[in-house]
Structure 1
Amino acid sequence: MTAVRLALGQERQERHDGGGGCDTAGEAADLAAFLGRLVRWDKAAVVRLRSARDEPALGVFGHPPFGGVLAVRSVALHGSAAVADAVDATVSAGQLLEAVSAAAGGFELPPSVTGPAWAGLLPPRGGWRREAEFDPGQVRKAAAEAVAEFRARTERLPQQQRTRAVLDALAEELWTRPYQGTTLRVVHAAHALGFLRGHGDDTVALLAAGPWTRLRTEYGSVAVRRESPAAGLSFSPA
């Protein structure tokens, strides 16, 4: 078992570096919220945890049900956890949620589990180049409009036509629409994961590395391989 101490997360460093201290409770709450969403969508969800030796941050990778995307959150480590051996494990998201929720500033990693195929194919650590930067309000608007259109068109369907196949086809039409170098699928996933929040000083950037693209926000990232096929509960509006 590996003890991990929580401190201010890398994804939000710029927003809080004027405060002079580590927002451990806020970091734990954000990680718990992220894990809670994954577990709500899939009670058997797993996450891949990865950090390099001497690296002060732990990468938490999840696979939400939005057609092949990966969700990424960065959790900063402090104290001995930041200089310990590298962490590379796949664990139950539910068990990790319980550990984080019960802890006061740190937690024990749950036992490793056999990971699904996606856990073996993660985005690269480095080599990212900035492709574009977006106004956060416009990204949130695009996500809200896509969800509203899905719901409106669903409501117009006769009840007998609201089958899984029909809803999946409608969702596929919407989420595969291009959006500023990525797709609405990625924007929708970021919205559903809580990565698009209504703060005026948020930043949203599109990054690329090899076959991967990544929508990065202050609260986490959504990454996808360009050739990644859609799969999963794609009709979920939120």
Structure 2
Amino acid sequence: MSLAVPAAADRAALADVVARVVRLDPAAVVRLRAAGDTVALWAATPFAVLVTTAAPGRVEPADVTVMASDLLAALSVVDAPEVDPGRAVDDRWRGDLPAGVGWDVIGEIRADEIDAVVARTDAAGLDATAWEADGVRVPARCVVAVAGMGWPEGGAAVPVALSDDGAWMRLDAGRAAVVRHRRPALTVLM
């Protein structure tokens, strides 16, 4: 098993996202998926939203789940274009992922408004609508996840963009994003 990301800056950016995931949940898992000449990284958060980022590179196998702490150690300790991301724990991944295409930007929220939205969340709860654009309601948990990850960096000059693909919503905060189903998944009882 291997993860190859040629550019040191891209490896550092991946390590930064994984470190933030581990800070929120030390037992988190990360799913790595090949997408052409890019590696997409996905991780669940305690806020019931996904975090994602991508970098030019490749991963073998093309779809594998590893412990976030193992991947962080590999990216932080080994200064090489290719690392061993850790042992596969594919059985620990729960849920599906959105398609990689079809996202339409439908709104933005200024970075300096994120803290105000998070402050209102305490009284309203994580499932309350924190923001709405073009008929898409963004639950507070999505904005709290953006803040919990420490994004966006760069202050008020960096807006957080809201995108929609019909089934999922995405809050883009620079090189990474928070993603959530627009509607809760149905549970099938048998």
TM-score range, shorter chain: 0.7 to 0.9
Pick 1 or 2: higher relative contact order, CA cutoff 8 A, min separation 6.
1
Q: Does 1:5 align with 2:5?
A: yes
TM-superposition CA deviations, 1:134-192 (whole Å, max 9, x none): 25xx2x23321133456xx7xxxxxxxxxxxxxxxx462x6522313323321221122
CA shift for structure 1 position 40: 2.4
Q: Answer 1 or 2: which has greater strand percent.
A: 2
Unaligned runs of 5+ residues in structure 1 are 8-23, 154-169, 230-238
CA contact (8 A) 1:64 1:70 kept: yes
Rg (Cα) greater in structure: 1
Q: Secondary structure at the match of 2:21?
A: helix
CA shift for structure 1 position 207: 1.3
In 2, the alpha carbon distance for the partners of 1:40 and 1:102 equals: 17
CA contact (8 A) 1:58 1:75 kept: yes
Q: Does 1:222 align with 2:178?
A: yes
In 2, the alpha carbon distance for the partners of 1:40 and 1:217 equals: 18
- Partner residue, 1:115: 92
CA contact (8 A) 2:43 2:51 kept: yes
TM-superposition CA deviations, 1:70-107 (whole Å, max 9, x none): 11111222xxx4xx766200111010001001121422
Cα RMSD over matched residues? 2.5
Unaligned runs of 5+ residues in structure 2 are 186-190
CA shift for structure 1 position 59: 0.6
CA contact (8 A) 1:195 1:219 kept: no
AA of the residue aligned to 1:126: V
Q: Secondary structure at the match of 1:117?
A: coil
- Partner residue, 1:128: 103
CA shift for structure 1 position 64: 1.0
Normalising by structure 1, what TM-score?
0.66
- Partner residue, 1:60: 41
Q: Does 1:73 align with 2:53?
A: yes
CA shift for structure 1 position 2: 1.8
CA separation of 1:204/1:42 partners in 2, compared to 1, >3 Å: closer, same or farther?
closer
In 1, the alpha carbon distance for the partners of 2:72 and 2:162 equals: 29
In 1, the alpha carbon distance for the partners of 2:180 and 2:79 equals: 34
AA of the residue aligned to 2:4: V
CA contact (8 A) 1:212 1:225 kept: yes
Q: Answer 1 or 2: which has greater helix percent.
A: 1
Matches within 5 A, 1:75-90: 75-77=55-57, 81=58, 87-90=62-65
Aligned residues: 179
CA shift for structure 1 position 200: 6.7
Matches within 5 A, 1:73-222: 73-77=53-57, 81=58, 87-106=62-81, 107-113=83-89, 114-118=91-95, 121-132=96-107, 134=108, 138=110, 140-149=111-120, 170=123, 172=125, 176-181=128-133, 182-198=138-154, 202-222=158-178
Q: Secondary structure at the match of 1:180?
A: strand
Identity %: 29
